[in-house]
Structure 1
Amino acid sequence: MKILLAKFQLEANEHVPMKCDMEDVAISYGKDALAHMQLGNVFDESDIQLVPVICADAACSGVMKYQCFEYIENRILNSIRENLSDLDGIYLHLHGASYVEKIGSGEHHLLREIRKIVGPYLPIAISCDPHGNLTKEYVENATYIRSYRQAPHTDIAETVQKVCKELLNQIRSPKNMAMSQQTVDK
């Protein structure tokens, strides 16, 4: 089983005069990126091969410069293209409230571009902040989305691990996902 992982975090404020650029983003790659993803031991099975691409954390900032986002997005998209033939799933840790010059939501743009590459069936699981911006298209392009439940966000690791476990379940036993009232109430 081969799973690609990436993290892109930006909570953008359009009213801040500074623009978020490369020097404002904490970036790590490959195995170093895994250390910042709070995965626990979810993927510690011998039949799982991870493809950790990037952890790009801009925290709270102004609108991201397009060239900065383009760099992050291209790292992710190029890695997907390189691994597509034997990729079983994708895990993304996104914030949900980014804003990028020229394109608006970075998350929405990224997920749309990923779906163009992988098609409609490859499982994509996303963990995100509860106040992220969701649209019908964004939700339909994901297989599984779950936000943190606590404020302050004391349950990030728990949420990430739950999402990753659900991704593994979806890969091992594909099924149509539908929200139930029980899920909404939790």
Structure 2
Amino acid sequence: MRSRLATLASIAGLLVATSASAGHHLWDTTEIFSNASGSVQFIELFTAENNEAGLGPFTLKSGANTFTFVTNLSTTATANTWVLVATPGFAALPGAVTPDYTMPANFFSTAGGFINYAGVDIWNYGTVPTNGINSLLRNGTSAGNSPTNFAHQTGHINVATPVPSLQTWGLIALVGGILVLASGLLRKRANDLATA
């Protein structure tokens, strides 16, 4: 009888240990974004499964950089949810949703590299768009960024460098200057023809 109880206790212990360690391993990196300077970056993870709230103390790594999740998610209802890890520069932008975790600027290289989540999901990625609008998706394509946090809030940021434009009066002055220059050149040509 004692050996039967010991066996059942061992099996129960293994089941508890397995379920406790299974709370983080089904997240996949789905989208990364960076501006040209790396001051605005985000990494988005997704899981289709419940009971994946145990992110702490696991890590995200890229190159020589490591980010440690210091807390777990607030609920085990994680099926079809995202986790957003972003830089402070991201959080300050219009259209940005609140990130779930904050990582340092220039966390990953825009020239290509890898994102390693907890050793269970490693994405070797190519060049990241740095036009301030597009992000790199897991399938290797780029599209308009769509950062989504754990609260299911999705945003869109635009950090594209604006093309300098002339104000209306500046444009009028430029056109006027061109007309004055052109009329002066025409008068000179007419005078040269008349004296020839």
Q: Which has the higher helix share?
A: 1
Compute the TM-score of the two structures, normalised by the length of structure 1: 0.24
Q: TM-score, normalized by length of structure 2? A: 0.24
Greater Rg, structure 1 or structure 2?
2
Q: Which has the higher contact order (CA 8 A, sep 6+)?
A: 1
